[in-house]
């Protein structure tokens, strides 16, 4: 390694000497380009870490454009003001009188969420924070589904190239489907009613007041395993071999939650119910899909009943028809 370092250091020195001796402008430009390329190679060689990219991006399933504008608020009052400035009110949204959901991506919940004494105001702030994220994640899933369906159609017609066939197999593996099982794959690349996602986030995070939600952007109680797992350890738990998974922002938590429902074997019943609704040509209903979540919690049926009650008592079904506004 020492000889390689010396060679890389000596290289630019020799090239700089050549620049001084080169008379023509074109010659100097060529030498400078060579130096630039050498520095790029050395950066890769000695470990300049690539930008982190999720499998969602690596597989080409993500949207090419930034669909939501990232916003951060230091406290609940500031976040509520941001929503008001963007004409984002749940009452108007439920009545169908407003322009839709603004394209705002709240990066993290305000630290003082748990301090609010007005529970209804806190709930409204929580729902407005997450609804745009769920709507955008669902829009991305519809786009991904369309891409996969186009590839499956081409495959069935014998027009899918070798590279695209490999891509389709990788997508299947990422979703936990058997390569070649088109029906299973399509049952996994699908949306979740916003009311169900919002209810689970509220249930798992205490309406955004839990230590995990505020300290790790963990909204859905997803776990990470092993000593090197990134997350927060529960203070009171019978098992000590897991942490509640940490996320860089709320959007990452929403995407991971949806992928969990769409890929884990524990939620096969939910996916079967959703696929059956598609076959019948009707929208998947949250109060039907929730019955496929018995394995999400150790409470089983009691957890399903709690989610169902939360959806009903907070009128969350009215948010399933919400849509993001056009443009910014």
144 and 10 in one domain?
Answer: no
155 and 35 in one domain?
Answer: no
Question: For position 6, what pLDDT does the model report?
Answer: 39
| Position 293 in a domain | yes
135 and 269 in one domain?
Answer: yes
Question: For position 134, what pLDDT does the model report?
Answer: 97
Alpha-carbon distance of 105 to 70, in angstroms, equals: 5
pTM of the model: 0.80
> Domain containing 23: what range?
2-45
Question: For position 44, what pLDDT does the model report?
Answer: 30
Give 3's contacts (C-beta < 8 A, 6+ positions apart): none
264 and 205 in one domain?
Answer: yes
Q: Report which DSSP code applies to 70.
A: E
Interval 33-64: pLDDT, tens: 444 344 333 333 333 333 334 565 667 776 65
Please say whether the beta carbons of 130 and 197 come within 8 A.
Answer: yes
Distances (CA, A) of 123 to 90, 119, 252, 315, 316: 11, 6, 21, 12, 11
Quote the number of domains for the chain: 2
| Position 61 in a domain | no
| Position 14 in a domain | yes
Burial degree of 55 (CB within 10 A; 0-12, 13-18, 19+): middle
Which strand (E) or helix (H) includes residue 153? Answer: helix 119-156
Report the CATH number at residue 218: 1.10.530.10
């Amino acid at each position: 390694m020492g000889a390689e370092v010396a060679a890389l250091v000596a290289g630019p020195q020799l090239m700089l000497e050549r620049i001084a001796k080169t008379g023509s402008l074109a010659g100097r430009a060529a030498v400078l380009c060579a130096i630039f390329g050498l520095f790029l190679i050395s950066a890769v060689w000695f470990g300049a870490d690539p930008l982190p990219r999720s499998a969602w991006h690596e597989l080409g399933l993500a949207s090419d454009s930034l669909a939501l504008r990232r916003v951060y608020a230091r406290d609940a009052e500031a976040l509520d003001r941001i929503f008001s400035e963007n004409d984002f009110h749940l009452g108007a949204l439920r009545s169908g009188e407003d322009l839709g959901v603004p394209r705002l991506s709240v990066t993290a919940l305000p630290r003082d969420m748990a301090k609010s004494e007005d529970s209804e105001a806190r709930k409204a702030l929580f729902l407005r924070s997450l609804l745009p994220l769920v709507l955008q994640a669902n829009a991305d899933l519809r786009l991904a589904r369309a891409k996969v369906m186009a590839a499956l159609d081409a495959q069935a017609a014998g027009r899918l190239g070798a590279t695209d066939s490999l891509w389709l197999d990788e997508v299947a593996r990422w979703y936990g489907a058997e390569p070649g099982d088109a029906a299973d794959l399509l049952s996994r690349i699908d949306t979740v009613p916003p009311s169900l996602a919002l209810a689970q986030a509220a249930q798992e995070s205490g309406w955004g007041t839990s230590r995990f939600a505020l300290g790790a952007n963990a909204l859905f109680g997803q776990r990470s395993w092993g000593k090197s797992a990134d997350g927060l350890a529960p203070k009171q738990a019978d098992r000590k071999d897991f942490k509640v998974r940490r996320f860089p922002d709320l959007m990452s938590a929403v995407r991971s939650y949806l992928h969990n429902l769409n890929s884990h074997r524990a939620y096969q019943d939910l996916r079967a119910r959703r696929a059956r609704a598609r076959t019948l040509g009707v929208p998947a209903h949250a109060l039907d899909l929730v019955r496929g979540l018995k394995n999400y919690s150790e409470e089983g049926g009691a957890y399903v009943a709690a989610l169902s009650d939360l959806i009903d008592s907070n009128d969350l079904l009215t948010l399933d028809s919400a849509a993001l506004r056009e443009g910014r």
